[in-house]
Amino acid sequence: MHDTFGLVAEPAAAKADPRGAVALAGVALDHRHANSYLARPGDRMKHIFLLIDGWAARYRLLSDGRRQITALFLPGDLCDLAWRDGGKAVQHVIAITAIRALRIELGTFERQIECDPGARTIVDHEAHLLAEAQCEWLVSLGRRSAVERLAHLFCELVERIGAVNAGGVGRCEMPLTQIDMADITGLTPVHVNRTLQQMRRSGLIELKSRQLKLRDFARIKKIAFFRSSADNPPLKNNLPEALKVFQTISGLAAVQTQGRLAHA
């Protein structure tokens, strides 16, 4: 199932670059393989990404090898707003899956924010969502048990993907390996493994071949002390709106976004 978002300003003016991407006015469609770096510490970033398909992660690496993932970027997220300040990457950002993204020059991006109040609102809101999510991660790492941390992570993912159906069952793609989950939740891969098994045994989740299913969303939320967007400002970003804003200035052909499991 596919949806089409965004209107095309000047599709005819769009120019294909050698790698098959389209570039105009500082905005282009970009493709990346899984495990490719979007940024490394010290890199001077000249652009910012609006993720369309695929997942990415930002992480800190200590000199002795310890890794902590500090943010997950999902479709609709801006990656990485931290690059705006000084244009220098401080952390690693890696593609977890293959990725399609709008690559927006920082200059173009700033100009758009300056001129278009709608863009400004979206960006401010995005930044706020990230900050809120990070606070919840702090709570997980500081005060939640292993089961609670994983439960909370899964709740967050399913809500951000927008994949909780009316029956209270949530599903989503789960491209994260157990090592990734460990580096998000501050646990060891071994303990993540045992905790997942415990969660499966107790009928909380199903997880195999990169597919996650939350069997009773309400129950998992309670276990995780999860603040649902039902009672709060929504956790979810707004990909269609963001695409509209930045496609309009790019003259880019309308981008097809993959249908989400949300609709299944």
Interface with DNA includes 189 (CB under 7 A)? yes
C-alpha to C-alpha distance for 48 and 58, rounded to whole angstroms: 14
Q: What minimum distance in Å lies between the beta carbon of 19 and DNA? A: 19
Number of Cβ within 10 Å of residue 60's Cβ equals 14
Task: Enter the DSSP assignment of 5.
Answer: E
Nearest-approach distance from CB 192 to DNA, in angstroms: 7
> Cα separation of 264 and 173, whole Å?
12
Residue keyed to tokens 């276990």: 223
Instruction: Give the relative orientation of helices 117-143 and 146-161 as an angle to the nearest 10 degrees.
Output: 160
Which partner in DNA, a second copy, none is near 221 (CB below 5 to 8 A by kind)?
none
Applying CB under 8 A, the span of 20-28, 130-138, 211-219, 253-261 interacting with a second copy comes to: 130-138
Q: What, of DNA, a second copy, none, does residue 138 touch, CB below 5 to 8 Å by kind?
A: a second copy
**Which one, 30 or 126, has the nearer CB to a second copy?**
126
| DSSP secondary structure letter of residue 106 | H
Question: How many residues touch DNA (CB under 7 A)?
Answer: 19
Name residues contacting a second copy, limited to 185-244 (CB under 8 A): 185-186, 225, 227, 232-233
Q: Say whether residue 188 binds DNA (CB under 7 A).
A: yes
Candidate list 195, 237, 247, 257; residue touching DNA; CB under 7 A: 195
Among 46, 191, 222, 263, binds DNA (CB under 7 A): 191
Considering only 18, 20, 142, 167, the residue that binds a second copy (CB under 8 A) is 142
Whether omega for the bond prior to residue 180 falls within 30 degrees of 0, making it cis, is no
Residues 130-169 that bind DNA (CB under 7 A): 145-147
**153, 212 in Cβ contact below 8 A?**
no
Which span (16-24, 72-80, 178-186, 212-220) binds DNA, by CB under 7 A?
178-186
Does 70 bind DNA (CB under 7 A)? Our answer is no
Binding-site member from 5, 31, 68, 216 for a second copy (CB under 8 A): 68
In this chain, which of 60, 219, 236, 244 binds a second copy, going by CB under 8 A?
60
Alpha helices in the chain (DSSP H): 106-115, 117-143, 146-161, 178-185, 189-201, 217-224, 239-250
Q: What does 130 bind: DNA, a second copy, none (CB cut-off 5 to 8 Å by kind)?
A: a second copy
Residue 112, sorted as left (phi over 0), alpha (psi -120 to 50) or beta, turns out to be: alpha
Residues 196-215 that bind DNA (CB under 7 A): 196-197, 209-210
* CA atoms within 13 Å, Cβ hemisphere of 91: 20
Let me know: does 48 contact 104? Beta carbons within 8 Å.
yes
